[in-house]
Amino acid sequence: MTVESGYAEFFGPQVPRTGDEGQTPTFALASAAYRDNEAEEILKANSEWHKSEVGKPRIKLFRPNLGEAFSRAIIDRMLGSGRAPLIQSFGTQPQVVVEHALAAHRIRRERDNWLTAVMVLCGLLFLPGLLVWLLVFQIRTTMAKRDDKRAGALATALLVGVGALAVLFLLRMPFTGFWAWYARAAVVAPVLGWFWAKQICERTARDLRERWDSLLSGSSIGAKVPEAVPSSPGETAAEQLRQSLARLSAEQQSNSVFYAGPKGILGMGTRWGSWQLAEDLAPADPDREIHPFRSWDVIKAIHDRLRMLERGPLNTGGFPKPSIRHWIVTPIGENATAVTRPEGTDVEAYQVKQHAVQEICNKQQFGAGDRHYLGVQWTLWDGQLVITMLITVTVLHETLRIEVTGHALGPVHSLFTTKPAAKEKEVQKSVKFWETRKVKLPLVDSDEVVRLAARAPLTNYPPLLYWLGGKLTLPEPFGLRHAWADKPWRHRFMADDALRAATPVLRVVHSAAIKVLEENGVDTTKFGSRSSSLSTAVQEATPSKADLYDA
């Protein structure tokens, strides 16, 4: 049984659970589930590295709109059984987005159930007439999509002409008896069904648009989703949904990330800056040897000092409290389409255990294998900007190397922050023909009613619907946030925040590391000089593509 078929009858509001950080991108992405634009609109949000695709429909009558395609794709990819691993969505709460996708999908399912009933009563029982009308609308849709300006007028003329022929057919019936009355009903019933379906579609469209607008207005509208806790042992679908949502939340908290070459660390953004301090380990006292220490000792001291970043000598606001975590970074290919998370006894609930993290930090510094990074991360601008500074310490022979790198993930694409606009068009005034006026269009036009009614009976068979109408293919490896993130450098204040974070972090890291070296009898003269040089250089930090080596 699929997740889609496991809906219970009880609902509850689902809103972000961890403060208010991340509301803007979370609700912006969630609003896509309620949209009624063309599915191809989402292609505008494609970035340099992550590109969605919308399959071309075999029959245009069965094509999905943006909300339908997005909801289906998110549910299948993030809750489907046997799904591939997901990339963490920093600054976003993916479970909320998934819940809104489920809610939007359920609203459409209820509409489709009504439309299916209409299709049976007014269409299937009068199949010849239905097929003729569907053929007319399919031809009309194909003609209207052409770039030729005359195509739209020709498509309308086609519909008017067929309507006139239908009236003539009703008045001058070529045969009599039962089949004459059946033929009349076959012509009229689909038209009556269209009016009935239009009322159903408009009611649902208003509901979806209100939710779309509410999410972007900051009203924190709750997603109405089925109860995920099964009320009886036999509710396997509800249990599957509960387990899928729990797995999604656990994977979001994983301390394992992936480095995809020029794409940077997936979910954290590309590397825009790198500062390295590397000097020889020489004893401060020539008559005494250095006291043995490990990379973890240096990292632990840096970790403790980074926790004090929000404190300062002046009451000027400054840094908010950052998230400081130990990350295990796995290298993957630039064009890799899937990732594999660490497994084994050292991993529990997608978390690499502390002793394994410490071992990787101390031993895996050269050659194949995962690497350890200490990360300090800020989620700013209500979740629209994620700044991550990563620190790694390596010791090779007699050289200790401390590297600090900066990563920045920008706001979600502006496509997701656009509110629903009233459907209207400009027409020429009848008298002052050189002037124009705006005319309101119906929320659901005739073509849209036919499209929805034609798709409704097939919503219970997604593979067939995908084959006929196409579907949205998400960029892999998939993560909600980085798939549609824009660059932060186009926003002046966001860029300033990213650049300003580098200097204090670098100085704290160097200060903590030098203190550990001094405590273990290391001559820190060269380290101090090099640190001062880097401290000067970082003040003129400018974003660059640090992962694109000119070689």
Question: When comparing pLDDT for 443 and 327, which is higher?
Answer: 327
CA distance 320 to 317: 8
Give the helix/strand (H/E) hosting 330: strand 323-331
- Report the range out of 132-141, 165-174, 491-500 with the highest average pLDDT: 491-500
Band (18; pLDDT cuts 50, 70, 90)? very low
Question: pLDDT by residue (tens digit) across 210-230?
Answer: 999 999 987 766 676 654 455
Which residue has better confidence, 420 or 182?
420
CA dihedral 463, 464, 465, 468 (to 10 degrees): 120
CB distance 166 to 185 below 8 Å: no
Tokens describing residue 453: 């009614």
pLDDT of residue 447: 80
Q: What is the pLDDT of residue 26?
A: 92
Is residue 408 within a helix (H) or strand (E), and if so which, with residue range? strand 399-409
**pLDDT tens digits, 27-65:** 999 999 999 999 999 999 998 888 999 989 988 889 999
Instruction: For residue 375, give the amino acid letter.
Output: G
518 CB contacts (<8 Å, ≥6 apart)?
A: 284, 524
Over residues 498-512, the pLDDT tens digits come to: 998 888 999 999 999
Residue 351: name the closest of 256, 226, 280, 261 by CA.
256
- According to DSSP, the residues that pair with 389 across neighbouring strands are 376, 406
Q: Give the pLDDT mean for 485-502.
A: 89
Residue with the larger pLDDT of the pair 168 and 450: 450
Q: Please give the C-alpha separations between residue 67 and each of 40, 292, 484, in angstroms, as whole numbers.
A: 11, 60, 16
Q: Is the pLDDT of residue 123 over 70?
A: no
The H or E element containing residue 164 is helix 149-171
At 311 the pLDDT is: 84
Q: Is the pLDDT of residue 20 over 60?
A: no
Note the pLDDT of residue 5. 37
At 527, is the pLDDT very low, low, confident or very high (cuts 50, 70, 90)? confident
- Residue 306 to residue 534: CA distance in whole angstroms: 18
3-state helix, strand, coil split of the chain in percent (to 5) is 50, 15, 35
Decide if 413 contacts 45 (C-beta within 8 A): yes
Q: In this model, does residue 372 exceed pLDDT 90? A: yes
Question: In the predicted model, is pLDDT for residue 378 greater than 90?
Answer: yes
- 251 falls in which pLDDT band (50, 70, 90)? very high
As a whole number of angstroms, the distance between CA 249 and CA 72 comes to: 20
State the pLDDT confidence band at 261, using cuts at 50, 70 and 90.
confident
pLDDT reading at 252 higher than 90: yes
pLDDT band of residue 539 (cuts 50, 70, 90) is confident
Report which of residues 543 and 358 the model is more confident about. Answer: 358
What pLDDT shows up at residue 164?
Answer: 64
Please give the DSSP secondary-structure letter assigned to residue 421: P
pLDDT band (50, 70, 90) for residue 10: very low
More confident residue, 542 or 36: 36
Pairing type for strands 351-352 and 347-348 reads antiparallel
Q: How confident is the model at residue 424 (pLDDT cuts 50, 70, 90)?
A: confident
Could you tell me if 94 and 252 are in contact, meaning their C-beta atoms sit under 8 angstroms apart?
Answer: yes
Q: Rounded to 5 degrees, what are φ and ψ at 20?
A: -110, 5
**What is the distance between the alpha carbons of residues 396 and 59, in angstroms, rounded to a whole number?**
62
Question: What value does the mean pLDDT take over residues 148-177?
Answer: 59
Nearest to 271 by CA among 493, 544, 550: 544
Reported as a pLDDT band with limits 50, 70 and 90, residue 177 is: low
Give the single-character DSSP code of 234. Answer: T
Q: What is the mean pLDDT of residues 96-100?
A: 92
Q: What is the mean pLDDT of residues 420-429?
A: 77
**pLDDT, tens only, 438-488:** 777 788 887 888 889 889 889 889 999 999 999 999 999 999 999 999 888
What number of residues does the chain have?
551
Q: What is the spatial distance between Cα 413 and Cα 25, in angstroms, rounded to a whole number?
A: 9
